[in-house]
């Protein structure tokens, strides 16, 4: 084949970093000898972050990436590794100053493809499995954002930004330095990015020539695929015969886009250029189509209701020949994530959250039976069938992500990668246990308790109530580089992390109760959790703190006005403070319409009026406790003025307060030095008021 000849000949090959000035040292793993066995912010940011494992077609080798951060340079770099599916033959196959991303095996398993900005913009490259013979494949203007090679290896699809004509261009005549942007409809920004372009799908032939442009299969459409802001290449897939592309798209614009979650699955024929909507009439999110190995069926994740972004994630299987669709999860009161077909097409493996851990399940298509495979105190974040085993990434509150091999029948797992063993072996972690606590309405609520390092039950400790964001986001066995429970334990705190009302993994009723009830039962759940645990002899009831981000930040603000002097310190990160302002400041209108019940001006809407009556800013007159407010300027989901309002209110009321403001961070904190500053400020505040 032509592409194979290109790679064999080494045409267009270039040396790593050729003609590039070396401005900074190479970022790679450092062997650190710690001065203490207790976690610090600097140690936390030294962990290698394992991601994106991909199994070779012969099921013998995995390629994956590890990201390392350099605190002095305030940047990161990602390198690629391979390891056998049996855990042998670990190799680092890249060592460059350019982060290699989205590594995949070519369908014949002879090469590894990946994205790299080595030539200036992000382009597709290929290399041998040992990292040799690095060859640039694309040279698309402005770069590409993702790709997939067709199964027959004759074609490639890639996604790239398309910039529409400026309908107001006449107003810019003679103003080359004007920076103003003019909009006349909604959804003009996403989370941390102003919308100036669309992501479109392109196809091209793999030839001896570098690919400079392709056929835009969405030409002329003002839509995007994958979906902004978090959709990736899992939302686009080739059919096994390389004749069709299945993709996810929400074909709406402006106000209609901003109030709807109704995306669909489209099939594009490479031969005819025609597009067919196979999920028409299904009104919620339909995403991530995956073909069965023989190409006869497509599975995807589907939500039923338009406008509800946290609806149950169903597993739909579509028969291409008959056009029939079946919901195999109709009686399964859990979410389905990351479906993956077995080699024989008779089984679909997937991830589902139940009782605060994410486990691997399987669906047998023959009888429709769903079976749980794994069980433990951990989260699996994805699953890949690989012959007689499953390859999966596992994480917990006590360990960052590593790659595991899982027995398909017993669920027994074997750790394959040991990326952070040197650090983990030097650290002591707090014990993690789960407890069920009775709520005010006599329900059983799952709660994680994380104990301080070297916990001594005869001593008394300060405790932190952790308020989860989302709001529909489980307090599961996650490992966070900001809200890290082991870091809190290392600083001598008991952490109380309840799975209050409004979280998935405990059935539909539990998850949906929160919508339209902000400030209601879920706040009572929080207080139930901290009241029960604070009765323990080892908890000092006079040293209780309350912390959280996003909806957790809202929870902190609300509790600050309604806690009846339980807490001695609060920390709110990127929280909603004024819900009336939030309704008109956020960009995803479907979220506030569903969760708050509608606009604040609709006086006849009892649900909406109850929501806005429970806005935290309405209880500021009750604030009496020191509070730290944290917010990022680039957070367009909950804008920075929400944090400013809360901080200003505290100062005007004479309450001790601090405001940690990041001009260059979004809803998260992603830069190393900002992350360490966050940690230091966080514990400086808690230690000041609770120790």
Instruction: Write the secondary structure of 359-395 as one string of H (helix), E (strand) and C (coil).
Output: EEEEEECCCCEEEECCCCCCEEEEEEEECCEEEEEEE
Asked if residue 13 has pLDDT above 50, the reply is no
- Copy the structure tokens of residue 454: 């070297």
Q: How far apart are CA 282 and CA 296, in angstroms?
A: 21
- Copy the structure tokens of residue 108: 């014949």
Asked if residue 24 has pLDDT above 70, the reply is no
pLDDT reported for residue 19: 41
pTM above 0.85, yes or no: yes
Asked if residue 57 has pLDDT above 90, the reply is yes
Q: How far apart are CA 44 and CA 124, in angstroms?
A: 32
The SS3 assignment for 112 reads strand
Cis before 636? omega within 30: no
Percent of the chain with pLDDT over 90: 94
Is the distance from CB of 379 to CB of 371 less than 8 angstroms?
no
Asked if residue 52 has pLDDT above 80, the reply is yes
Q: Which residue of the set 550, 555, 611, 615 is catalytic?
A: 550
Q: Where does the pLDDT of residue 30 fall: very low under 50, low under 70, confident under 90, or very high at 90 and above?
A: confident
Q: Where does the pLDDT of residue 31 fall: very low under 50, low under 70, confident under 90, or very high at 90 and above?
A: confident
Q: How far apart are CA 132 and CA 7, in angstroms?
A: 11
Q: How far apart are CA 37 and CA 427, in angstroms?
A: 4
pLDDT reported for residue 3: 45
Q: Which of 487, 473, 654 is nearest to 555 (CA)?
A: 473
Q: Which of 5-14, 220-229, 445-454, 471-480 has the lowest mean pLDDT?
A: 5-14
∠ CA 638-499-573, rounded to 5°? 25
Is 635 an annotated catalytic residue? yes
**Residue 289 gets which letter from DSSP?**
E
Asked if residue 21 has pLDDT above 50, the reply is no
Place of tokens 């308020």: 467
Exposed, middle or buried: residue 592 (CB in 10 Å: 0-12, 13-18, 19+)? buried
Q: What is the average per-residue pLDDT within 336-360?
A: 98
Backbone phi and psi for residue 90, each to the nearest 5 degrees, phi listed first:
-70, 130
pLDDT reported for residue 26: 87
| Residue 336 neighbours by CB under 8 Å, 6+ apart | 301, 313, 314, 315, 329, 350, 351, 352
Asked if residue 10 has pLDDT above 90, the reply is no
Q: What is the pLDDT of residues 96-147, one digit of tens each?
A: 999 999 999 999 999 999 999 999 999 999 999 999 999 999 999 999 999 9
Asked if residue 221 has pLDDT above 50, the reply is yes
Cα–Cα distances (Å) from 59 to 55, 110, 188, in that order, read 6, 13, 44
pLDDT reported for residue 1: 43
Is 631 an annotated catalytic residue? no
Backbone phi and psi for residue 237, each to the nearest 5 degrees, phi listed first:
-150, 145
Asked if residue 509 has pLDDT above 80, the reply is yes
Q: How far apart are CA 278 and CA 271, in angstroms?
A: 18
Q: What is the pLDDT of residues 634-682, one digit of tens each?
A: 999 999 999 999 999 999 999 999 999 999 999 999 999 999 999 999 9
Domains of the chain plus CATH, in order, are: 1-30+48-137 (2.120.10.30), 424-690 (3.40.50.1820)
pLDDT reported for residue 546: 98
Is 190 an annotated catalytic residue? no
Q: Which residue of the set 286, 311, 358, 635 is catalytic?
A: 635
Q: Over the chain, what is the mean pLDDT?
A: 95
Q: What is the average per-residue pLDDT within 450-462?
A: 98
**Residue 138 gets which letter from DSSP?**
B
């Amino acid at each position: 084949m032509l592409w194979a000849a290109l790679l064999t000949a080494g045409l267009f090959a270039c040396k790593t970093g050729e003609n590039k000035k070396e401005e900074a040292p190479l970022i790679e793993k450092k062997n650190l000898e710690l001065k203490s066995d207790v976690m610090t912010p600097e140690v936390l940011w030294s962990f290698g972050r394992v991601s994106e494992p991909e199994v070779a077609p012969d099921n013998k080798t995995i390629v994956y990436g590890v990201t390392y951060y350099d605190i002095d340079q305030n940047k990161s770099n990602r390198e690629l590794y391979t390891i056998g599916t049996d855990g042998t033959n670990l190799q680092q196959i890249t060592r460059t100053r350019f982060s290699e991303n989205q590594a995949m095996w070519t369908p014949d398993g002879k090469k590894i493809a990946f994205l790299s900005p080595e030539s200036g913009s992000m382009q597709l490259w290929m290399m041998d499995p040992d990292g040799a013979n690095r060859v640039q494949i694309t040279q698309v203007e402005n770069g590409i954002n993702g790709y997939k090679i067709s199964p027959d290896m004759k074609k490639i699809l890639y996604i790239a930004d398309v910039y529409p004509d400026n309908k107001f261009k006449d107003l810019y005549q003679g103003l080359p330095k004007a920076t103003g942007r003019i909009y006349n409809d909604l959804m003009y920004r996403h989370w941390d990015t102003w919308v100036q372009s669309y992501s479109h799908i392109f196809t091209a032939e793999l030839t001896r020539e570098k690919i400079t442009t392709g056929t835009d299969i969405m030409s002329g459409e003002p839509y995007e695929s994958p979906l902004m802001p978090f959709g990736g290449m899992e939302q686009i897939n080739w059919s096994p015969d390389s004749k069709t592309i299945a993709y996810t798209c929400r074909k709406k614009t402006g106000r209609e886009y901003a109030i709807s979650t109704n995306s669909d699955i489209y099939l594009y024929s490479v031969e005819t250029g025609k597009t067919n909507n196979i999920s028409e009439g299904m009104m919620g999110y339909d995403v991530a189509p995956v073909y069965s190995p023989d190409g006869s069926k497509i599975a995807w994740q589907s939500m039923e209701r338009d406008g509800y972004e946290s609806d149950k994630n169903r597993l739909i299987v579509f028969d291409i020949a008959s056009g029939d669709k079946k919901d195999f999860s109709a009686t399964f009161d859990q979410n389905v994530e990351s479906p993956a077909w077995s080699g024989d097409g008779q089984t679909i493996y997937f991830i589902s959250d139940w009782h605060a851990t994410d486990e691997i399940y399987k669906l047998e298509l023959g009888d429709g039976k769903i079976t749980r495979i794994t069980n433990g105190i951990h989260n699996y974040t994805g699953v890949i069938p690989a012959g007689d085993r499953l390859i999966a990434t596992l994480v917990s509150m006590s360990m960052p992500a590593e790659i595991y091999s899982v027995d398909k029948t017993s669920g027994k797992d074997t750790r394959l990668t040991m990326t952070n063993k040197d650090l983990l072996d030097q650290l002591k972690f707090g014990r993690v246990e789960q407890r069920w606590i009775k709520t005010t309405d006599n329900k059983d609520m799952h709660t994680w308790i994380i104990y301080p390092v070297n916990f001594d039950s005869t001593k008394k400790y300060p405790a932190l109530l952790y308020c989860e964001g989302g709001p529909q986001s489980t307090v599961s066995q996650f490992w966070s580089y900001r809200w890290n429970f082991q870091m809190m334990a290392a600083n001598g705190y008991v952490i109380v992390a309840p799975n209050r009302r409004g979280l998935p993994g405990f059935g539909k009723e539990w998850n949906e109760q929160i919508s339209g009830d902000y400030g209601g039962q879920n706040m009572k759940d929080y207080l139930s959790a901290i009241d029960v645990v604070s009765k323990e002899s080892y908890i000092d009831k006079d040293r209780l703190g309350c912390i959280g981000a996003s909806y957790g930040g809202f929870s902190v603000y609300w509790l600050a006005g309604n806690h009846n002097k339980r807490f001695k310190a609060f920390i709110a990160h990127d929280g909603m403070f004024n819900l009336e302002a939030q309704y008109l400041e956020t960009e995803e209108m479907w979220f506030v319409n569903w969760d708050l019940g509608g606009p604040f001006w609709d006086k006849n809407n009892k649900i909406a009026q109850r929501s806005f009556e429970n806005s935290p800013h309405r209880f500021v007159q009750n604030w009496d406790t020191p509070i730290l407010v944290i917010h990022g300027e680039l957070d367009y989901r909950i804008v920075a003025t929400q944090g400013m309002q809360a901080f200003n209110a505290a100062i005007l009321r004479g309450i001790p307060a601090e405001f940690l403001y990041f001009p260059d961070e979004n809803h998260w904190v992603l830069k190393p030095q900002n992350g360490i500053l966050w940690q230091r400020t966080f514990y400086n505040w808690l230690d000041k008021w609770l120790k």
